[in-house]
Amino acid sequence: MSDRPWSFDRPVSSRGYRWWYVDALSDDGAHGITIIAFIGTVFSPWYAWAHRRGEVDPAEHCCVNVALYGTPKRWAMTDRRASALTRDADTLAIGPSALRWDGTALTIDIEEVTAPIPSRLAGQVRVLPDAVSDRAFVLDGAGRHRWQPIAARARVEVTLAHPSLTWSGPAYFDTNSGTAPLEDDFAEWDWCRAPMPDATAVLYNATRRDGTSQSLALRVGRDGSVEDFEPPPPASMTQTLWRLPRPTRAEGGQATATRTLVDAPFYSRSEIRTRLLGQNATAVHEYLNLKRFRSPILYSMLPFRVPRTLR
């Protein structure tokens, strides 16, 4: 097992998870993409049903989630079995899609089928970090959940064949891991990353099920250095169509949601305008409500968006 932050060969415990997350917006603001490679697909109803019955190998529930924003929009998130997974320190293949780290860049080859209406989603995404950070953070009191911003400052090159699309822009790359389901330890969290000319600001606010909370405010420099700064005051934005709040923190206590990228009953991803580190910025924001995710009614809806393969 490698100890490098991007290493794809790290173990994942029963009922646990590990994911690698990339998001990017185009320079012209017209397009966006999010890619998440999961071992232990935390937002899969299939994995939730399995680990609530007892011990389960998270490799039996792995996937590469791809979401395109702008025109055209696409969504793919197919829950796959362990037979679809191969990995070593620098390569992670899940079904026909794969992530590869070559020492300077992360290359993601995408070959997925969209849901709920099937269509081909295929092409390549290259993430080019300014630098790699080595600082990781524990998100809960028991030390069961960890987050690490691998490359908070990066560029992306998107070249898709299906649909035909080419663009570039600022990007972000991180990883999360845990030894227990998220819904066991968290009630909700919000996160955002705001790229600026000289640094990227990252906020992470978590409310735990035991009533405690954590608020991280980080400045990531061009050299990958990660420095804490005083969290700014809370700011609220308009609710989503599913009536989810969009809490964040911003200087002056004001931020505005300018575009909703993902609007689900328990999760939202948005483009926002905010002010951090003394600068106005366009940021990617997410909000996750684990209390809603625990609902049996919600589980009955998710298979339409997260199908599962037979092999």
The reported pLDDT for the residue numbered 54 is 79
The reported pLDDT for the residue numbered 1 is 40
Return all residues near 170 (Cβ < 8 A) that are at least 6 apart: 24, 25, 27, 153, 154, 155, 156, 195
Task: Quote the CA–CA distance of 276 and 85 in Å, as a whole number.
Answer: 40
What DSSP string describes 18-79? EEEEEEEE-TTSS-EEEEEEEES-TT-HHHHHHHHSS---GGGSEEEEEEEESSS-EEE--B
Q: Do 125 and 108 touch, CB atoms closer than 8 A?
A: yes
A 10 A CB-CB count for 242 gives 14
Task: Quote the CA–CA distance of 26 and 6 in Å, as a whole number.
Answer: 24
The reported pLDDT for the residue numbered 119 is 97
pTM, to two decimals = 0.95
Q: Which two tokens stand for residue 224?
A: 């990958």
Residue 199 phi/psi, 5° resolution? Answer: -165, 170
| Per-residue DSSP letter, 303 | G
Q: How far is CA 310 from CA 52, 61, 169, in A?
A: 21, 12, 37
Q: Do 192 and 291 touch, CB atoms closer than 8 A?
A: no
The reported pLDDT for the residue numbered 2 is 46
Q: Which spans in the chain are helix H? A: 45-52, 182-185, 290-293, 296-301
What is the separation, in whole angstroms, between the first and last Cα of the chain?
27
Task: Quote the CA–CA distance of 302 and 299 in Å, as a whole number.
Answer: 5
Task: Quote the CA–CA distance of 164 and 176 in Å, as a whole number.
Answer: 31
Per-run averaged pLDDT (10 residues), the chain, 311 residues: 75 96 97 98 87 87 97 96 96 98 95 96 98 95 96 98 98 97 96 96 97 97 96 97 97 97 95 98 97 77 78 66
The reported pLDDT for the residue numbered 45 is 85
The reported pLDDT for the residue numbered 55 is 82
